Amino acid sequence: DIEATCEAEHPAGYRPEVIELPVVLLNAKTGELGASYRSYCRPKVNPVLSQYCISLTGITQKTVDKAKEFPEVLEDMIAWLGKHIPQDSKFAFVTDGDYDIAKFGVVQCELSGVAIPAMWRSWVNIRKHFSNMYSQKRVNLQSMLSMLSMSFEGRPHSGLDDSKNIARITQRLLADGCSLSANGRLPS
């Protein structure tokens, strides 16, 4: 669950920048959680976090000031994935909606002048699978957890904590027989 710069009210033309890039590994065959990754990113266009953003995410100005810039963090994440996912394995990012990759990831790649990673061209939108599996309207992360009689673990809008909770929902969907597939895609 990518976290990005934000304002209480986005001014016209505001482009959010990634400030936290987390990953939680989940083996879809066994349902077991694996290693996790988190790195913070230093924003360039909006280098000073709004008080709203700090309050929402818990990410401080000091944290982003000492962080690497996005291109280096993206490289680090890809290298980390290479060490933790066997080369012949298939994998996909699981997101809480399409926004994380389709908006935050794409905009950040454009702002940073880097190519959109192939692994971000499609993803599993857990909201859509949840809605279809349990015949529910699409709801947010906390509501999905509540409907599964689970409580949120950690701090909401911490990218890593959100990712761990998305993984818990994914575990439950798999245990209940859901066949997960990529259902979010960037336009060709």
Per-residue tokens: 125: 């939108």
User: 33-40 and 18-26: which strand pairing?
Assistant: antiparallel
**Annotated catalytic residue within 17, 20, 129, 157:** 157
Strand order of the sheet with strand 18-26? 3-4, 18-26, 33-40
Helix (H) or strand (E) segment spanning residue 25 = strand 18-26
Q: Give the gyration radius of the chain's Cα atoms.
A: 16
Q: Which residue of the set 3, 17, 20, 129 is catalytic? A: 3
Is 3 annotated in the active site?
A: yes
CA 5 – CA 115 distance, rounded (Å): 21
- Say how far apart CA 119 and CA 121 lie, in whole Å: 6
Distance separating alpha carbons of residues 170 and 165, to the nearest angstrom:
9
Judge whether 153 counts as a catalytic residue: no
Give how far Cα 58 sits from Cα of 44, 91, 118, Å.
19, 29, 30
Give catalytic residues, as residue numbers: 3, 157
